[in-house]
Amino acid sequence: MEKELKNKNPDGETNVTLKEILSLMISGAPEDVKLVSTAYEFAKKAHEGQMRLSGEPYFVHLTGTAKNLAKMMQADAQTIAAGLLHDTIEDTLVTPEILQKEFGADILFLVQGVTKLAKIKYQGIERHAESLRKLFIATAKDVRVILIKLADRLHNVMTLEHIKPEKKKRIAAETIEIYAPIANRLGMGQIKGALEDAAFPYAYPKEYEETKKIRQIKNQEALEQLENIQKQLRKRFAKENLTKVTTDFRIKHDYSLYKKLQRNNMDLTKIYDIAALRIIVPTVEDCYRVLGIIHNTWRPLPDRLRDYIAVPKINGYQSIHTVIFTGDGGVVEVQIRTEKMHNEAEYGIASHLAYDESGKPDSGGLMGKKLRWLNQLIEWQKTVKGSKEFLENIQLDFFQDQIFVFTPKGDVIELPQASTAIDFAYAIHSDLGDHVAGAKINSKFMSLDTVLKNRDIVEIQSRENSKPTYKWLEYAKTSFARRKIKAALGEQEESKKKSQRG
């Protein structure tokens, strides 16, 4: 909902028509068509006379948001209607009472969930932090709130060219640092990539231009190699009587490519997945069968097989990734998955939305598991007072790239990258963290400052007389562990003072 409004006489057509939005909806039921159509006309009238800095009617933003919801999130009619109405309370004379009367309590809740806080009470960074807190709490009650916010943000960041340079850079950086990671945590690969790519040129213009040049060098070569592999594979699949197979090419998003180049010191020769061949088959058994055919035809690159079907990523992503030598000096990545896995990779949590009898998303079962991190965030944010600390810590603890580490029993503990054994102990339980005496990582005793890697198995040794030290503050990377250590050290200092006085 970042925007610049000014009043003009409304003229000109909107970029996205009602017909286009309706054609993208997953449901064509008469009641759904009627709801979205009514919301479309209501929003158009409510925002009449409001213009964007581009000179377009402000209504263009609302229809763009609705289109994103229908196309990229497969949203239901209520969510699309709320997307059309999401700025009515904030920017028009429409009151919550009017909105509830016209569209019901559920749509009012969705609209209020993405409505920012009053400017009078909150300013600058405080307003942004408090708006995020409000957004997370609303999302925990109805996940559709965050879908609307992401669709809204995507349209705004795709139309940044008319905004002042300093505001443009702030919105773009915020998109990359907060909103794209939220989409990632929800498993929504399609919208995560779109958010990052739209923001990249404005947040980091120099790096964007550099990445674009690198891509131009490699793209054509990679696509030619993939086309050749694809032709050979189709022949092999026909011989093996694998007929229900879909193949296409996946081009790596610009910002994702830049981050990978960064991790490899901008060395293009170490990047194998600028373009990848994607193979979609009916069943999990077919995935492994295809993998066998590929490895029997081309030599796989050692240590580059990733089985995210057997061990999914933290956000639920499933696929098999392998890298093969093409035989002509090239190396390419191949991704293998089922249609269900592909839909989940593209739409994430939106593909799991199931509704209870009242029409609201069911928050239990699989949905509850996928939103566990959000409930942890809400509990955690109650302990953080300052707005600056809140924003810094959510980026560190919740929106940084994550790893998953196993307990000896096979339970998965999710941590930010660069976390240590100390962070792991506190993530399990505060009391365990306060009494850490040692750690076994993959069955070997290691120091407490050892940086954990994805899929490490960690066993914490504890002793009752073991207590946090100031050195532990250097070891701990998560804000949660650091706060607990500081609290324990404070108690130790207070206890010392009491004993000295006594």
**Residues that are catalytic:** 90-91
Write down the H helix ranges in 158-302.
165-174, 180-185, 189-203, 205-239, 254-263, 284-297
Classify residue 178 by its DSSP letter.
Answer: I
Positive or negative: CA dihedral 168, 172, 175, 180: positive
What is the greatest pairwise CA distance in the chain?
87
Cβ pair 370, 353 in contact under 8 A: no
Q: Which residues lie across from 440 on neighbouring strands?
A: 445, 459
Place of tokens 């005793």: 445
Q: What's the rounded Cα separation, in Å, for the pair 264 and 282?
A: 35
The CA R_g of the chain, rounded to the nearest whole Å, is 25
Structure tokens at 169: 């850079």
The SS3 call for residue 256 is helix
Cβ pair 338, 320 in contact under 8 A: no
Classify residue 177 by its DSSP letter.
Answer: I
347: left (phi over 0), alpha (psi -120 to 50) or beta: alpha
CA-to-CA separations, 380 to 155, 386, 454, in angstroms, rounded: 30, 13, 24
DSSP string for 153-170? HHHHHTT-TTS-HHHHHH
CA-to-CA separations, 295 to 40, 305, 427, in angstroms, rounded: 52, 11, 39
- Residue 472 carries which side chain, given as an amino acid letter? W
Q: What's the rounded Cα separation, in Å, for the pair 252 and 356?
A: 37
Q: What's the rounded Cα separation, in Å, for the pair 274 and 284?
A: 26
Residue 332's φ and ψ, nearest 5 degrees, are -135, 155
- Residue 118 carries which side chain, given as an amino acid letter? A
